[in-house]
Structure 1
């Protein structure tokens, strides 16, 4: 086996393996999201605050995202406040804005804004990118075995 073939087999295996792990993670998150949605209770919430969070990259540049803080009343009558797990810049919401949320009756603090971005962006992105990586790695790996290709 020459060095190029060895490189492509290692590259394809690693690329395909990492891609598969990322895709499976995305699928697991999607299944959890689906399970949450089927058991969650809808409610109206109000944006009461926008929390600015900063992050700094390796070059020292700062960026900011605004995470909405939402207040809602559960069916039990209990008022609950939670911070959304997704933020944006510019802010997607404004203080006082009404939003539809979904919450679990067992854990009202782990509520989520009912939007495609909050619910589905992460699993779709991970599944899509992971699948592309797995496909590229798989093609490279298969192409590194010339006997498999020539026997057809």
Structure 2
């Protein structure tokens, strides 16, 4: 087996993962931007915070619990009251009960609504894009180095 093969394989996996993540990022950002471009805007109020606790095991075997807080927001559109829970949570909570937040909603279906801040709307694409921008070049460099190493042998 050539010395460059494992490096080439690892590089290819990292580069491919990076490209897939960048593709996912583009799709998520385009979907969010399309929603926001056609959405109506209003002001909503945080009416509650829902805690979701996850449990995982540390490398040393200890159980670790983590709580993430998801805001529930209420707003009025067309004379009707709507409520939704944000898909973006945080720890510590990003909002407090009674706090006003900008809301974007689909005018044809006001139940389809989101908190209209940059981080609430684009956190997913920022994370996947950052990982893609990290993995793709690292994978490409490893791929090239592995190929060069294999050719030298």
TM-score by length of structure 2 reads 0.88
Say what the alpha-carbon RMSD is for the aligned residues: 1.9
Does the alignment pair 1:65 with 2:72? Answer: no
Q: Offset of 1:85 from its aligned partner?
A: 0.8
Match of 1:48 in 2: 47
Match of 1:137 in 2: 139
The worse-fitting range, judged by mean Cα deviation, of 107-116 and 4-13 is 107-116
Structure with the larger strand share: 2
Structure 2 runs not aligned, ≥5 long: none
**Displaced runs of 4+ in structure 1, greater than 6 A?**
none
Match of 1:96 in 2: 98
What is the 5 A alignment of 1:81-120?
81-120=83-122
Distance in 2, Cα, partners of 1:48 & 1:70? 6
Distance in 1, Cα, partners of 2:57 & 2:110? 37
Q: Offset of 1:32 from its aligned partner?
A: 0.6
Match of 2:123 in 1: 121
Per the alignment, in what secondary structure is the counterpart of residue 30 of structure 1? Answer: helix
Q: Offset of 1:144 from its aligned partner?
A: 2.3
Q: Offset of 1:44 from its aligned partner?
A: 0.8
